[in-house]
Amino acid sequence: MNTRIIATLAAMSLVATASASFFNDANTSTPLIPRSVLFGNPDRAQVRINPTGTTLSWLASVNKVLNLHIAPVDNMSSSTVLTHETGHGITSYLWAWTGKHILYPKDTDGDENDHIYCSNIITGETKDLTPFKDTKAEIVATSHRHPEEIIVALNNRNPKYHDLWRLNISTGETTMILQNDEYAGFELDEDFNVRLVSRYLENGSFAYWKLNKNDTRTTYCVIDSDDVLNFHFVGFDATGEKIRVLDARGRETAALFEWDFDTKESLLIADDPRADVSKLLINPITQDIEAVGIEYDRSKWILVTDPVERDLRHINVLNDGEFIVTSRTADNNQWTVSCYRDNGPVEFYLYDRKKGKAKLLCVSQEDLLDKPLAKMRPITIKSRDGLEMVSYLTLPINAPVSTKTTSDSLNTYPMVLLVHGGPVARDSWGYNPEVQLLANRGYAVLQVNFRGSTGFGKNYINAGVKQWGAKMQDDLVDAVKWAVDNKIADKKRIAIMGGSYGGYATLMGLARDPELFAAGVDIVGPSNLETLLATIPPYWEPAVKYFHRFVGNPNTSEGLSLLKERSPLTIADQIRKPLLIGQGANDPRVKKNESDQIVASMKKHHLPVIYLLYPDEGHGFSRPENNMSFMAITEQFLKQHLGGEAEPVENAIKDSSVVVLEDSDRLTSELSTQVKQKKAN
């Protein structure tokens, strides 16, 4: 089991290049897809089966809030609502090995102080297993050998560090197994023995220690800073004598190895020359590794053991997208499988391994089946210094050419550069509601895995070291120029948009390249790197050396100077184009002050900005009503500055918690009316 706890800022391959075949007939308009379809709750999500094979579970809406539902495995229509959460819905869950308990985390209004809840499907009772104030709880480990127990990490004693507790999910009884005043991560075996502990060292490397019975420790291995983000232990075998590891030391991409735990003798299991091993298919009883997932531009599975060869072959033909096994019974006879595509809902299957047959249970959202959803095309773009950036281009379906076009080419579109967060993350192929809304409104959408993105090997990710606002930003500029040169984007109608790091890149893009972008949309993006690092959550302290290496160390004069230089706030007076900002009031990562600072600077310099605050949200927007209101304002904002289409606002503002703190860019009259009505109420 992978039990490393480190707080970090954490099908067939097809690569295409821009060509005339990308472009659609621009003479036929496409019906607008309602925001309520794209950003409302799904009909069903995360369909799974319990370990005993008797019960299916999923998330579905109750009074507009996602809650747990259950049904007999042979009669999904005979369902029972198991939980009754209000406000923010349930976002993830897992079955306990008892087969009658479901566990799920939930915070308060986006504060990320998750509690662990347990629902009993027999009694219908739901209880908070970790009822501690100002505490972030995490499930660290489960095991079929101990079905009534889980290992949880709690920082209620010391907000900087998580202690490990053994928790009985039936009785609520807890026993501390490790008091922690130092470590960032732990590796446990199937019997819940803490075999390794780990943390960052002062020089940015990452050390692992083996715990001895006499309360001493022995250094197990030390990972150099260049290899830290491509080295992860991913669990023990059933005997506890071997440990699996993703490791890129001495190579470019992270491969899967199996080590003898005592001698560290290593056996290569699977690798790929272009991409890191990123997914594992593991039998939860035997702990045998069955297949590994590789994702370069599209995901694919590589078989490791023969017993599942037939299964993967049968599942692979269910649709033309990608799939993941989401749960299985303890006897391994039944799996639930989710199949994904770029232009349609998720399909949920129950797969019978004995028969080799899959039964379609449902789709995530039936309303999507008849909607004009766009295809996402993997492409590669070269940076100015020769890096190959895996990217994704989504074009409108039969998009009308606006009369505002300033390009000589009828094939060009207004474009939105959509920047991923992290930045230690990546964009992937698949269905994305933001992408679909933008494409449906007539925009080309470009997503770029700039340097520092994950999945493409250690040199690619390390190329982003101390390159926030510099070469990482250059990569985005190069991608925009590629789109213009290839007659995809109208150079005078390009916006930049993103959340978290993507919000930072948006602010930096408008300030550093003021003539390149016509507008920007920033969602919870940091504007001042010095204050960002000064206000990180206390439980991120064990990983602060990561930030110092990748962003800059405020404890040195050189590092502090770099943080100021790379902060959008420092050059905010250079912004010339309109900016829309969305911020969650309870964001523990990027505090509200980050948005306050950039807005104050823009007001001081009389620059156009709209500032939206959501009092019941954190690092992003999870309530559908808030998502829909923000996207309603976003599409009106983009229509005003890029000339695309927009669905009428209707009740999008009224039903949300949004507060408009600044509107120097002037909301449209329809939006202004709703805002005034909301204030009056």
Nearest to 337 by CA among 512, 345, 328: 328
Alpha carbon 537 to its chain centroid, in Å, reads 19
Return d(Cα 232, Cα 254) in angstroms, integer: 9
Q: What are phi and psi of 335, to 5 degrees?
A: -120, 150
Contact 398, 440 (CB under 8 A): no
Catalytic, out of 57, 402, 500, 601: 500
Residue 499 pairs in a beta bridge with: 523
Return d(Cα 529, Cα 92) in angstroms, integer: 31
Residues 6+ apart with CB under 8 A from 558: none
Give the containing element (helix H, strand E) for 165.
Answer: strand 161-168
Is 311 part of the annotated catalytic residue set?
no
Neighbouring C-beta atoms of residue 369, cutoff 10 Å: 10
Residue type, 665: D
Catalytic, out of 111, 237, 587, 665: 587
Tokens 């819940």 sit on residue: 192
In this structure, what token pair is assigned to residue 594? 């980050």
Give the containing element (helix H, strand E) for 462.
Answer: helix 458-462
Rounded (10°) angle between helices 624-642 and 433-440: 40
Nearest to 523 by CA among 445, 598, 581: 581
Catalytic, out of 69, 162, 548, 619: 619
Cis ω on the peptide bond leading into residue 423 (within 30° of 0)?
Answer: yes
Return d(Cα 661, Cα 592) in angstroms, integer: 12
Return d(Cα 12, Cα 23) in angstroms, integer: 23
Residues 6+ apart with CB under 8 A from 582: 521, 522, 523, 524, 612, 614, 621, 630
Residue type, 548: H
Is 474 part of the annotated catalytic residue set?
no
CA distances from 285 to 3, 99, 266, 524, 660 (A): 17, 14, 23, 41, 52
Contact 168, 95 (CB under 8 A): no
Is 619 part of the annotated catalytic residue set?
yes
Q: What are phi and psi of 317, to 5 degrees?
A: -100, 5
Nearest to 376 by CA among 288, 334, 322, 436: 436
Using only C-alpha atoms, the chain has a radius of gyration, in whole angstroms, of: 25
Rounded (10°) angle between helices 471-485 and 501-512: 70
Say whether 181 sits in a helix, a strand or coil.
coil
Q: Would you name the residues annotated as active-site residues?
A: 500, 587, 619
